[in-house]
Chain A
Amino acid sequence: MHAGHNKMTYPAQIQPELFALAGVFIFLALSLLTYFGEVRFPKKLPYIYQVAASFGLLFLVVSRFVLPELGETTRLWYCYGYLIAALANTVGANVYLAMPKRECKMSRKWSVVVTFPSILISTYFVAQYGLTQTSLVPSIAEITVTASCAAIATCAGVLAFQRISHALLHRVHKGR
């Protein structure tokens, strides 16, 4: 009798660098969007986002070619940090539109079209990664599932808050 081990075909495993890649795309999207909305945003902001995206590419190159022997946990945290920075910039642009410029309508559109989808997609990637890497970091699956729920709840809360505040402002204007 002979035991032959057949390797079944599975989809390629998610690498931590997927977060860096997602961050790069978010920064590039921000760059183009802020260019179109340059009336509302500082003129240098699109170029700053391009530089930020280039840093993401640098992270990927370092992971792949310069320091491939780095542990997966290290790579995970710096790629994850980069993604968080990209998302923070998305939310920051949202706040920038809402607060100093008082452009509530634009801010609401931004949150629906940019902030919410980018957070949702990022959360999905993180959750997928966390669920397939339980052997690497035992608690990361629980962390990501909790983070996913928190992110969705936060987005829903922001949208609800904007909706309510808009309705209240509308009433106040109507009352005057």
Chain B
Amino acid sequence: MSTKSVKFIILVAMAVLIATASAAVYYSMIMQPSVTVASATISFFEGNDWPTGSVMGSNSTWVSLALKAYPNATLFYDQPLNISNTDTSSHTFRLRHVTITPITGDSQVGNFTFFNFVVEDTAGVAQASFNYTTTGNDWNTPATTSYMTLPANTQWIIYVETKAAAGANEVTANLQISVDVTQ
């Protein structure tokens, strides 16, 4: 093997070594995970019509609303809850049904007519309606809404309408809704 070939092989080997090592170091940098604790950019705020007995969770990331429903009369909560984007950029969110009790098929379900959660923007335009209705003793749970874009530093309203069936008994329904937020 000539000296020139040996030199060339050494040069190529060094080049491959440097290139591989550099790429590996860079790869390890971009694949380095980091988790930072930060306040939630989308959070809940008490509205002007905050129902008595409701609980605002710590860090405003969850809320338990104590709502009433009158037999054969629609009850409106104009502004029980606000949903706020405290970030400097917009975020999207949606409403998703999780659980409801009494479970569908239970004879107690027939005491309710509907619970409707409506998301309104700052102009008062309804962005989504999340309506629980009943058919006999079965719940008609709403489909997950489309993602809605909540602009930066903006607060929207979630208003609620409730109604119980005529002659309804005093029963309690517990429903859990998730607000899915994209970062």
Contact = CB atoms under 8 A, between A and B. Distances in A.
B26 A1 contact: no
A21 interface: yes
B66 interface: no
A57 B44 contact: no
B29 interface: yes
**Quick one: which of A3, A15, A47, A63 has the most chain B CB within 10 A?**
A3
Interface residues of A, number: 32
B18 A6 contact: no
A44 B78 CA distance: 81
Nearest to B83: A3
Contacts of A74: none
Interface string B145-183: 000000000000010000000000000000011111111
**Chain A binding site: helix, strand, loop or mixed by DSSP?**
helix
B18 A1 contact: no
Nearest to B8: A35
B183 A8 contact: yes
B62 A53 contact: no
B28 interface: yes
A61 B24 CA distance: 10
Contacts of B28: 64
B24 to A, nearest CB: 9
Contact of B178 (A1, A8, A15, A60): A1
A8 B181 CA distance: 10
Contacts of A54: 18
B18 A57 contact: yes
Contacts, number: 102
A15 B26 contact: yes
B181 A4 contact: yes
A3 B62 CA distance: 6
B29 A7 contact: no
B14 A50 contact: yes
B180 A57 contact: no
B29 A25 contact: no
Given A15-B26, A54-B18, A64-B28, 16 more contacts: A1-B176, A2-B61, A3-B42, A6-B181, A8-B183, A12-B31, A15-B29, A17-B29, A18-B26, A21-B23, A21-B26, A35-B8, A35-B11, A46-B11, A53-B18, A60-B26
Interface of B: 7-8, 11-12, 14-15, 18-19, 21-23, 25-26, 28-31, 40-44, 61-63, 65, 81, 83, 93, 98, 158, 176-183
Interface of A: 1-8, 12-13, 15, 17-18, 20-21, 24-25, 28, 31-32, 35, 46-47, 50, 53-54, 56-57, 60-61, 63-64
6 contacts: A2-B177, A6-B181, A18-B26, A24-B19, A31-B15, A64-B29
